[in-house]
Amino acid sequence: MTRPTTRSPDVILARTRELTTPPLRAATDGLHPSLARVCAYHFGWCDRYGSPRRGAVPSKMVRAATALLAAEAAGGEHREPAAVPGAVAVELLHNFTLLHDDVLDEDKLRRGRPTAWVVFGSGLAVLAGDALTAAAARTLADIGTDAGHRALAILLECFAALCDGEADDLDLSRPTTVEDYLRMSAGKTGSLLAASAAIGATLASGDDRLVGGLRSACLAAALAWQAANDVEDIWGWGDPAVTGKPAFGDLRQRKVTLPVLAAARSGTPAGDEIAALLAATADDPPWDVAHIARLIEKAGGRAYAEQLARDQLITAHRELDRVGIPDPAKSELASLFRLIVTRTF
């Protein structure tokens, strides 16, 4: 039976959680008991003692949803089940990045509660992330088909790109160029969203043209997402107790994200002041983050990042049109892109 209407993003994400949560839990349950508990805590399924947890903030599962929608783009709704292992694999790999990022960035909150490394120690958190990567690869290898092998190759290529992007991100305490920053974003944020679509379409027997078009659309959407997220990580969004992202968070860590970089390169007096602050040593007094945030806005850094987010979102939608993705998959992918970038449907 063909699904007659286009679903809203909240319905898409709820359906994704319904399909992927049981195999995700099975994959993590199969890990070493100590690592399984860390992962279950990280996913929000239990407390630090392993007791089931109610009322947890659910994961958005945007990447898993992208994989399932890409399968529909390749072969209609009946191809969605073929992509479930791919959706599970990309969520496992995504949560590897979250566990490691929290350690590397020394973030103490995720979804309103202590991060895994704070509760269990950095050693177990890192090992748990490594175990999720192995589980992601195993999930695709177990498919045992040519499509499964191609999907696994895409996942491993993505894993390498994620590592490269994270290495670039660790260098962002120093000034760089906008081009370098966008390259980092393509690796750290774009590679996984693009791989999610490519894996979903591949498992649903999509052709190379479709896979390539979906990759291009997702890369543009991911750049828009990163730019919007950079704005949020300075000026805040939502309740910090829930998002775990207090206002001025990136500035407190002296991270040179897109608004900061664009401001410092603006050639304005405010931008010159920011550039001088960036050149200061780590031994200098702490930044007045509220003052720096005002300087960034005055120099046009915030406006630059917000415009880039809008432009890249338009590019993502145009790529979906160009490759000829049928509805409702095209409309649902477009609405999912809008949700992650603008927080609106």
pLDDT at site 258: 93
Torsion angle of C-alpha atoms 163, 164, 170, 172, degrees rounded to 10: -150
Tell me how far apart the alpha carbons of residues 223 and 220 are, in angstroms, rounded to a whole number: 5
pLDDT at site 1: 47
Using the 8-state DSSP alphabet, how is residue 190 labeled?
I
* Under 8 Å between Cβ of 195 and 62: no
Considering Cα of 87, then 92, then 98, then 101, what sign does the dihedral take? negative
Query: ω into residue 246 within 30 of 0, thus cis?
Result: no
Tell me how far apart the alpha carbons of residues 212 and 201 are, in angstroms, rounded to a whole number: 10
* Under 8 Å between Cβ of 153 and 140: no
* Under 8 Å between Cβ of 138 and 156: no
CB neighbours (10 Å) of residue 114?
A: 16
Cα Dmax for the chain: 65
Give the distance from CA 325 to its chain's centroid: 23
User: Backbone dihedral region of 271: left (phi > 0), alpha (psi from -120 to 50 degrees) or beta?
Assistant: alpha
H-run or E-run covering 30: none
What are the domain boundaries of the chain?
A: 9-342
CA-to-CA dists, residue 241 to 35, 131, 341, angstroms? 26, 29, 21
By three-state DSSP, how is residue 123 classified?
helix
CATH of the domain spanning 9-342: 1.10.600.10
Q: What is the pLDDT along the chain (345 residues), one digit of tens a residue?
A: 455 588 999 999 999 999 999 999 999 999 999 999 999 999 999 999 989 987 666 678 999 999 999 999 998 667 778 999 999 999 999 999 999 999 988 889 888 899 999 999 999 999 999 999 999 999 999 999 999 999 999 999 999 999 988 887 777 556 578 888 888 888 888 999 999 999 999 999 989 999 999 999 999 999 999 999 999 989 876 545 444 556 777 788 778 889 999 999 999 999 999 988 887 766 666 778 889 999 999 999 999 999 999 999 999 999 999 998 888 999 999 999 999 998 765
In 3-state terms the chain splits into helix, strand, coil percentages (rounded to 5) of 75, 0, 25
Using the 8-state DSSP alphabet, how is residue 82 labeled?
G
What token pair was written down for 341? 């970038």
Which among 126, 124, 168 is positioned nearest to 261, based on CA atoms? Answer: 168
pLDDT at site 243: 47
